[in-house]
């Protein structure tokens, strides 16, 4: 599948579910203490402006903001961004793609891809990680969150809507390899078991661009 095709399918799929996504996911972190711990750790170590890339409806962007992080959101879907701007009018949300961020080299202290890199085909991930590396200042931090595994889940239906979404799963070990190949140093990893609402175990990786 060409890049333009998968980006188009991802965008239109999230546009379709945007209005219903808030009720589905807005409070999911309330029952995920380990996820919150990792996000709080990221907020504690990061310095400078952070881009939440693939921010969706902005719920994790808002969490980082509440923890004192200078953060803005970026997302491919205008529909998701419209919801985010309505929910959090005090925060900045930009339309854009992680495959080519409209951000200057070395401008950011942190990048977060919270369950968003999962929609990039495997052969496209090294290029996205290189883009994250480009926009980070030396010493900047990157947080990845993703479903753990080695397969690809395809959905034709979500929240009652027709979609075309692929979820590419990674083992933490393979994610660490790709990060190191992209020039990052892996700082920490968390791999937790699935809860009753999840299909697979979940993984979080914190990495940094060397100073």
- Cα–Cα distance for residue pair 23/160, rounded to 1 Å: 13
Strand partners, 52: 73, 112
pLDDT digits (tens, 9 = 90+) for 9-35: 999 999 999 989 888 877 889 989 999
Mean pLDDT of 176-199: 95
pLDDT digits (tens, 9 = 90+) for 125-174: 999 999 999 999 999 999 999 999 999 999 899 888 889 889 999 999 99
Domain boundaries, the chain: 3-208
- Cα–Cα distance for residue pair 164/47, rounded to 1 Å: 37
Residue 105 has pLDDT above 70, yes or no: yes
Confidence of residue 180 (pLDDT cuts 50, 70, 90): very high
Mean pLDDT of 62-82: 97
Burial of 128 (0-12, 13-18, 19+ CB in 10 A): buried
Compute the mean pLDDT over every residue in the chain, rounded to the nearest whole number: 94
Residue 23: what pLDDT? 83
Residue 106: what pLDDT? 98
For 3-208, CATH number out of 3.80.10.10, 3.40.50.300, 3.40.50.620, 3.40.50.150 equals 3.40.50.150
Residue 1: what pLDDT? 44
């Amino acid at each position: 599948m060409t890049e333009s095709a998968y980006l188009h399918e991802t965008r239109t799929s999230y546009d379709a579910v945007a209005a219903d996504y808030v009720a589905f996911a807005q409070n999911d972190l309330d029952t995920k203490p380990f996820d919150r711990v990792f996000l709080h750790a990221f907020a504690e170590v990061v310095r400078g402006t952070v881009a939440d890339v693939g921010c969706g409806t902005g719920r994790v962007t808002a969490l980082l903001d509440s923890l004192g992080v200078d953060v803005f959101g970026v997302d491919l879907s205008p529909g998701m961004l419209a919801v985010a701007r309505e929910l959090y009018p005090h925060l900045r949300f930009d339309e854009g793609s992680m495959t080519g961020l409209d951000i200057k080299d070395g401008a950011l202290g942190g990048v977060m891809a919270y369950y968003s890199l999962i929609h990039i085909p495997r052969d496209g991930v090294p290029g996205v990680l290189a883009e994250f590396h480009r926009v980070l200042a030396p010493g900047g931090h990157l947080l990845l969150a993703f479903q753990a595994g080695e397969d690809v889940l395809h959905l034709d239906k979500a929240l009652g809507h027709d979609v075309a979404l692929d979820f590419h799963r990674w083992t933490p070990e393979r994610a660490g390899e790709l990060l190191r190949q992209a020039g990052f140093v892996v700082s920490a990893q968390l791999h937790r078991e699935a809860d009753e609402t999840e299909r697979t175990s979940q993984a979080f990786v914190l990495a940094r661009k060397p100073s």
